[in-house]
Structure 1
Amino acid sequence: MNALGLSMIMKMGCICTRESININGTKYVVNERLGEGGFSCVDLVENTTTKKKYALKRILCHSIEDQKRAMQEITYCKKLRHPNIIELIDSTFKGSADIVVQATSEAFLVLPYYRRGTLHDYLALRSFSKKYMDIKDVLRIFCDISKALKYLHDFTPDPVAHRDLKVANVCLTENMDPILMDLGSCAPATVQICGAQDAQKLQDIAAETCSMTYRAPELFHVESYCIIDQRTDIWSLGCVLYAMLYFKSPYDVVYERGDSVNLAVISGTVHFPEETPYNEDIHDLIKLMLKVSPSERPFIDKILERTEELKNKYDNVV
C-alpha cells in the first residue's frame, strides 16, 4: 500500500472513531478540545442531525459534593435568562458519584459555541501589536457586561453573585456582544460569616473557584464576623475594565513578576501606564471599583450610571 492510501485510511479511521455522546436523545460528535480547567473541560461538538456546532462542557465529579456543585451550575444556567448571560441548550448526568466505592459521574452541559472565543482571547491577540481598543467599543462592551451583572445582583427572590468574573469568562458573539459564562462559581450574593470556621470555609472556596488576579481583597482574608456581598463582583469588574484597556488585569502583571498578588490586592495598589490613549475619567471609574474596603465600593447601579455618562460623553465626540 502506498503512503497516500495509508494516509487516507488513517484519516478515515480518525473520523470513524470520533467520540459520540448522546444527550437526552440527541447525538453529538466531538470535533476538538477547546479548553481545560481544574474541574472541567470544553469540547467543540456537532449535532449529527442538524450539523450545528455547540460547546460541550464536561464536569467530572468524584464525590457527592462535586455532583451537587455541578447540579448547582446547571440550576443557575436554567434560571438565569439574560441576553448577555450564556444560555443552557441541554444537560445531563452520566454515571453516579459514590464516595464509598469511589465511583465518578460526569455532568454534560450543551452551550452555544462562540467562534470568536472569549474576551481574553481577543485581548491577547490585540496585545501582540499593542492595538488598544477604541474607547467607544470598550464602554459598549463594558456596559453590557455590567447589565448582565446587574441582572444577577438584582435577581429575585435571591440575588446572585458571580464570584469569578474575568475576561476569560466572557465570550464574544460575531457582533462583539459580550456573553457572561461559567456560572459554576455563582452563589447567593450575601453571605453572613459567623466565626472563624465560616470564614475559613469561604476563604477556601474562594481560593478554589475565584481566579487570584481578579479576586476581591475580602476573599483573600475573610474576617471571622462580617457580611460578604455582591461587591466582590464590583472589584472583579474593575479588573475586567482595566484588562480591556491594557490587555491584562492589573494583578496579572504582579503575578507574572513573581510578586505577591495577595499583598498587592490588599494594599490597593493600581498602576496605570504612563503612556496611554485613554483619558483620566476611565481610570477614575476603575479606581472607584478597586476600593480595598467593600463598604467604600459602589453597587452595580452606580457603575452603570457612571458608564452611561461616559458613553454619552464619547458618543458625542466625532
Structure 2
Amino acid sequence: MSSLLWSLQSLQEKAKDAIYALSSCICREQASLKINGRTFKLLKVLGEGGFSFVYLAQDETSGRMFALKKIRCPTGAEGVREAMREIEAYRRFRHPNIIRILDSAVVQDRDGDGQIVYLFLPYYKRGNLQDQINSNTINGTRFSELEMCKLFRGTCLAVRAMHDYRPTKETAPPAGAPPGPSTQVIPHSENGHDREGEGEEQDENEGQGFSYDTRDSVPLMIQRTVEDQDVVFDGDQELQNEAEANGRPAENGENGDAAEGQGTIVPYAHRDIKPGNIMVADDGTTPILMDFGSTIRARIPIKTRQQALVQQDLAAEQSTMPYRAPELFDVKTNHTLTESVDVWSLGCTLFALAYNHSPFETNATTEQGGSMAMAVMGGVYKHPPGYQYSQGFRNLIDAMLKVNPEERPDIHQVIEMTDKVIASLSA
C-alpha cells in the first residue's frame, strides 16, 4: 500500500514539474528562480527521477551554469530528511571522481504542503555515459576498449572512496547539516518576479539555505578567481580549510579523499551505479560519479523476514533494475548485504559501455515478456558476438557478474584487474 501511495505521489509531482517545464518552454518570459537574493535562469530540463527534476540553471549575475536538482518533499519532514541524507553523502565523500555539491537550499512548496530542496551541482556539458552510449547506438560507433577501461577505472576509484570510507575523529554533524550557521531562504519566485509584500519576515521554520557563506546579504554562491585558475567557490575553500584544520592533505589526486579520517573503515554502498549516474568531465576523460540519493551504509545484517522485505522494497525504489544486484531482488534472512552490490553494478556498467545495453536488457526481457528479475537472479547473460574485445576485458566483466556476492572481487581487486587490462592494451 505504501509503495502504491509513493507511486501516486511521484506521478503527481512529476505532472506538476512537467507542466512547469512545458510552460517555461512555450511562455515568452524565461523561467527563473530566486534564492537568497540571487536569480537563476532555468534553461532546460536535464533529467528527472521519482520526486526530482534536474535543470540547467544559469546565474544571472555571473553567467555560471549549474545543474540544479529540485527535490519535492510532499511527505513533509521525512522527505526533507531523505534529501538531507543525500546532501550529507555529497559532503561525506571527497574525491576527484565524485561530484561535489556547491550549495543547497530548502524552501516551502507554494503548490503544496511540503517543501522543496534545491541542490546546486556542477554542470558537465558532455553529459553522462548513458548519453554517450545512446550516441554510439544512433551513430553506429563504439568506445575503444582502452577508453572504456580508463573511464571505468576512474569510476572504480570513486567507488573505492566509498567502500573504504573512514569517519573523521570529530563527531559527525547530523545528516544534511551545513558546514556552519545557515542562511535563511527568501521565498522563491519561479516566474522571475518577487512577490510583493511576501517574504520580508519569514517564519523560522519555513526554510533554510545551506550556503557556505553565513552573511544573509551575500549571494547563494560567491565566486573568486585564483590567479589563472578556474573560478572556485566558497564550498571548495571550506573543504580545503576543513582538511587543513584536521591535518589532512587537500584533495589533489586519485587518493585524495578530503573528508576521510583515520578510524575504522565504515563502507558505504552507492546502490545505483549505472551509466546515467556517471558524468563525463569537460576534459572528456574523467568520469564523475553522481546521484547519492540511494547511498547507505553498505553492511546490513538481515536477521528477520521483515528486515529483508524492507531492504527489498528500498532497492526496488532506489536501485535501477537492469543494474541491480541479484541479492537485492530476493533478500535472504541470515545474510548480510554488503558493498558487493556496487561491484555487480560496475560489471553491468562496463558491459553496457561495451555493448550499448546492460547484460539483462535483451530481446527476451524487454520485448518478449521475459522476467528481467529472473534473468538477473540466474545470472543469465551472454557477450554479444561480433565484438573484438580482449579475453582479459571479458574476464573482468564476468568476474563482477557472479550471482554469489562472495565470489565477486572487491573494489581493490577490480581496480587491479582493470590495470592489467589497460597495461595489456597499452603494450
Same fold per superposition (TM over 0.5): yes
Bigger mean CA offset, 291-300 vs 27-36: 27-36
Separation in structure 2 between the aligned mates of residue 284 and residue 96 of structure 1, nearest angstrom: 50
Separation in structure 1 between the aligned mates of residue 315 and residue 406 of structure 2, nearest angstrom: 19
Residue 14 of structure 1, CA deviation: 4.5
* Structure-2 change in CA distance of 1:80 and 1:25 (3 Å): farther
Aligned partner of 1:301 in structure 2 is: 412
The AA in structure 2 aligned to 1:91 is S
Aligned partner of 1:256 in structure 2 is: 366
Aligned partner of 2:31 in structure 1 is: 19
* Structure-2 change in CA distance of 1:79 and 1:31 (3 Å): same
The question of whether the paired residues in 1 share the 8 Å contact of 2:360 and 2:380 is answered with no
Aligned partner of 1:217 in structure 2 is: 326
Matched, 1:110 2:220: no
RMSD over aligned CA atoms reads: 1.7
Aligned partner of 1:81 in structure 2 is: 94
The AA in structure 2 aligned to 1:179 is I
Aligned partner of 2:45 in structure 1 is: 33
Residue 79 of structure 1, CA deviation: 1.9
Separation in structure 2 between the aligned mates of residue 197 and residue 307 of structure 1, nearest angstrom: 39
The question of whether the paired residues in 1 share the 8 Å contact of 2:325 and 2:345 is answered with yes
Separation in structure 2 between the aligned mates of residue 267 and residue 14 of structure 1, nearest angstrom: 51
Aligned partner of 2:250 in structure 1 is: none
The question of whether the paired residues in 2 share the 8 Å contact of 1:24 and 1:92 is answered with no
Matched, 1:270 2:270: no
Residue 25 of structure 1, CA deviation: 4.0
Q: Secondary structure at the match of 1:22?
A: strand
Aligned partner of 2:78 in structure 1 is: 65
The AA in structure 2 aligned to 1:51 is G
Aligned partner of 1:286 in structure 2 is: 397
Bigger mean CA offset, 272-281 vs 217-226: 272-281
The question of whether the paired residues in 1 share the 8 Å contact of 2:270 and 2:294 is answered with yes
Residue 23 of structure 1, CA deviation: 3.2
Matched, 1:186 2:295: yes
Matched, 1:175 2:188: no
Aligned partner of 1:246 in structure 2 is: 355
Separation in structure 1 between the aligned mates of residue 36 and residue 288 of structure 2, nearest angstrom: 25
Residue 225 of structure 1, CA deviation: 1.9
Separation in structure 1 between the aligned mates of residue 51 and residue 93 of structure 2, nearest angstrom: 22
Q: Secondary structure at the match of 2:114?
A: strand
Q: Secondary structure at the match of 2:415?
A: helix
Q: Secondary structure at the match of 1:250?
A: coil
Residue 132 of structure 1, CA deviation: 1.9
Q: Higher helix fraction: Structure 1 or Structure 2? A: 1
Q: Secondary structure at the match of 2:311?
A: helix
The question of whether the paired residues in 2 share the 8 Å contact of 1:35 and 1:42 is answered with yes
Separation in structure 2 between the aligned mates of residue 137 and residue 112 of structure 1, nearest angstrom: 23
Aligned partner of 2:130 in structure 1 is: 120
Identity of matched residues, %: 37
For 1:131-146, what aligned pairs fall within 5 Å after superposition?
Answer: 131-146=141-156
Q: Higher strand fraction: Structure 1 or Structure 2? A: 1
Bigger mean CA offset, 151-160 vs 164-173: 151-160
Separation in structure 2 between the aligned mates of residue 239 and residue 123 of structure 1, nearest angstrom: 13
Aligned partner of 1:8 in structure 2 is: none
Matched, 1:92 2:202: no
The question of whether the paired residues in 1 share the 8 Å contact of 2:163 and 2:339 is answered with yes
* Structure-2 change in CA distance of 1:31 and 1:129 (3 Å): closer
Residue 29 of structure 1, CA deviation: 1.5
Unmatched tracts of structure 2, length 5 or more: 1-23, 168-265
Separation in structure 1 between the aligned mates of residue 32 and residue 346 of structure 2, nearest angstrom: 38
The question of whether the paired residues in 2 share the 8 Å contact of 1:23 and 1:91 is answered with no
Residue 19 of structure 1, CA deviation: 2.7
The question of whether the paired residues in 1 share the 8 Å contact of 2:130 and 2:276 is answered with yes
Residue 38 of structure 1, CA deviation: 1.6
Aligned partner of 1:151 in structure 2 is: 161
Give the counterpart of 1:160 among 268, 278, 294: 268
Task: Map Cα deviations across residues 133-186 of structure 1 (whole Å, 9 max, x no partner).
Answer: 111101110100000000110011332110000001011112221111101010
Residue 26 of structure 1, CA deviation: 3.0
The question of whether the paired residues in 2 share the 8 Å contact of 1:87 and 1:112 is answered with yes
Bigger mean CA offset, 19-28 vs 307-316: 19-28
Residue 18 of structure 1, CA deviation: 2.5
TM-score (normalizing by structure 2): 0.68
The question of whether the paired residues in 2 share the 8 Å contact of 1:213 and 1:255 is answered with no
Give the counterpart of 1:45 among 39, 53, 57: 57
Higher relative contact order (CA 8 A, sep 6+): 2
Residue 103 of structure 1, CA deviation: 1.4
Provide runs of 4+ in structure 1 moved above 6 Å: none
Q: Secondary structure at the match of 2:46?
A: strand
Separation in structure 2 between the aligned mates of residue 75 and residue 21 of structure 1, nearest angstrom: 24
